[in-house]
């Protein structure tokens, strides 16, 4: 049975597809963080004039292909996504390289309409297609000593020109505590808007953790490791003062360079009023218990 959680989102709240795949129209002429917009809680998103297919597919973030927003579209076509496999290892009963086709044949794919909040203070609403990460981990058999789950992104220096530069310590890595990973809201996405993920958006398989800032939702996953120790994560290694391991959406804990108290949401118009950011991105009722007794200003 599909997981049900309390939500006020409907299909009318979904960020228009063109706005999800490109921010060019919203970002032109604007510098800094917190610049994009989206409709508020319980209110339908205003429709944007759809971008052309070229615009949609030529403005994305995926640093492995370069830091310029046009780089992923120019270079991601070279990324090999078939065949694809995910190595699941560490503290599991059945470590193996699992072919994507085999994984998908054993998973229940469903649509999840989630809020997506960027650490830069913009947000949107996305209809993901995917399956619960817990089902994948249970397929591999989680051992009793496991406490964390580590993730690794595909890396190919011949296909990814961005990794020739030390923007981050490649390959891109992320991690969750095991209870976070096993939570039914945490999914592995295979598509958006009922279509396969574009390469520049993390094809063919990416993590989605809706109560955390977007950079936690690692793209193009090739390895998942169960471990007893907290794993390193790319942005935390690059700047631990700004990017904590947990990275939960928290309006009370600011980024050192900007406030997280409000956000602008893609789809509501360029000059839409900033709206209050919700604790845990609106999923507090479901996930706050995971952090009971923790100092969230320390474990940020």
CATH of the domain at 163: 3.90.420.10
> Is residue 95 included in any domain, yes or no?
yes
∠ CA(280), CA(140), CA(103), 5° rounding?
85
Residue 110 in domain: yes
248 is in an annotated binding site: no
69 is in an annotated binding site: no
Q: Where are the beta strands (DSSP E) in the chain?
A: 85-90, 96-99, 110-117, 122-132, 148-153, 173-177, 187-192, 195-196, 206-208, 221-227, 262-265, 275-276
User: Do residues 216 and 76 make contact, with C-beta atoms less than 8 angstroms apart?
Assistant: no
Q: Residues near 245 by Cβ (< 8 Å), separated by ≥ 6?
A: 175, 230, 233, 236, 299
- What's the gap between Cα 100 and its chain centre? 19
> What's the domain range around 196?
11-291
Q: Work out the pLDDT band at 266, boundaries 50, 70, 90.
A: confident
Using alpha carbons only, give the angle 53, 56, 57 rounded to the nearest 5 degrees.
90
Neighbours of 81 (CB within 10 A): 15
Token digits of residue 27: 């970002």
Task: Look at residues 190, 176, 90 and name the one whose alpha carbon lies nearest to residue 140.
Answer: 90
pLDDT value, residue 277: 97
Specify if 269 maps to a domain: yes
Which pair of tokens denotes residue 188?
Answer: 């592995």
* Average pLDDT of the segment spanning 270-281: 90
Residue 48 has pLDDT above 50, yes or no: no
Q: How many domains does the chain have?
A: 1
How many angstroms separate the CA atoms of 255 and 119, rounded? 8
Q: Tell me: is residue 6 an annotated ligand-binding position.
A: no
Q: Is 118 annotated as a binding residue?
A: yes
Q: Among 54-63, 128-137, 257-266, whose mean pLDDT is lowest?
A: 54-63
User: Is there a domain that residue 247 lies in?
Assistant: yes
Instruction: Tell me if 3 is assigned to a ligand binding site.
Output: no
Is pLDDT at 109 greater than 50 in this prediction?
A: yes
Alpha carbon of 190 to those of 139, 158, 169: distances in Å? 18, 24, 26
- Is 64 assigned to a binding site? yes
Question: Is 174 marked as binding a ligand?
Answer: no
If one compares 76 and 44, the residue with the highest pLDDT of the two is 76
> How large is the average pLDDT for residues 157-185?
96
Q: Is residue 298 part of a domain?
A: no
Mean pLDDT value across the chain: 84
Comparison of pLDDT for 24 and 6, the residue scoring more: 6
pLDDT tens track for 193-218: 788 988 988 999 999 999 999 999 99
User: Is 4 part of a structural domain of the chain?
Assistant: no
Residue 123: what pLDDT? 82
3-class DSSP state for residue 236? helix
Residue 220 annotated as binding? no
pLDDT band at 50 (very low <50, low <70, confident <90, very high): very low
Is 153 known to sit in a ligand binding site? yes
Q: Which of 7-16, 100-109, 183-192, 286-295 has the lowest mean pLDDT?
A: 7-16
User: Is 137 part of any domain?
Assistant: yes
Q: Confirm or deny that 63 is annotated as ligand binding.
A: yes
Residue 209 falls inside a structural domain: yes
């Amino acid at each position: 049975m599909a997981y049900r959680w309390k939500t006020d989102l409907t299909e009318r709240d979904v960020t228009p597809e063109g706005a999800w795949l490109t921010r060019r129209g919203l970002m032109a002429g604007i510098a800094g963080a917190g610049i994009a917009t989206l409709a508020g809680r319980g209110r339908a998103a205003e429709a944007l004039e759809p971008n052309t297919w070229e615009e949609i597919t030529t403005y994305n973030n995926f640093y492995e292909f370069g830091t310029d927003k046009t780089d992923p579209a120019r270079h991601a076509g070279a990324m090999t996504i078939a065949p694809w496999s995910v190595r699941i290892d560490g503290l599991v009963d059945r470590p193996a390289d699992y072919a994507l086709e085999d994984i998908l044949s054993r998973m229940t794919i469903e649509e999840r309409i989630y809020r997506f909040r960027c650490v830069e203070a913009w947000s949107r609403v996305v209809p993901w297609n995917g399956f619960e990460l817990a089902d994948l981990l249970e397929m591999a058999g989680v051992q009793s000593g496991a406490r964390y789950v580590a993730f690794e992104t595909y890396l190919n220096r011949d296909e990814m020109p961005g990794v020739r530069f030390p923007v981050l310590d490649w390959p891109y890595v992320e991690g969750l505590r095991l209870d976070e990973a096993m939570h039914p809201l945490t999914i592995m996405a295979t598509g958006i808007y009922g279509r396969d993920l574009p390469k520049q958006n993390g094809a063919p398989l990416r993590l989605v953790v809706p109560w955390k800032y977007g950079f936690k939702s690692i793209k193009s996953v090739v390895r998942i490791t169960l471990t007893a120790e907290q794993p390193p994560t790319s942005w935390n290694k690059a700047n631990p003062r700004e990017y904590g391991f947990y990275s939960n959406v928290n309006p009370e804990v600011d980024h050192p360079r900007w406030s997280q108290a409000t956000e602008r949401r893609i789809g509501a118009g360029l000059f839409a009023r900033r709206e209050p950011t919700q604790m845990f991105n609106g999923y507090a009722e479901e996930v706050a218990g995971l952090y009971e007794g923790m100092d969230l200003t320390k474990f940020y």
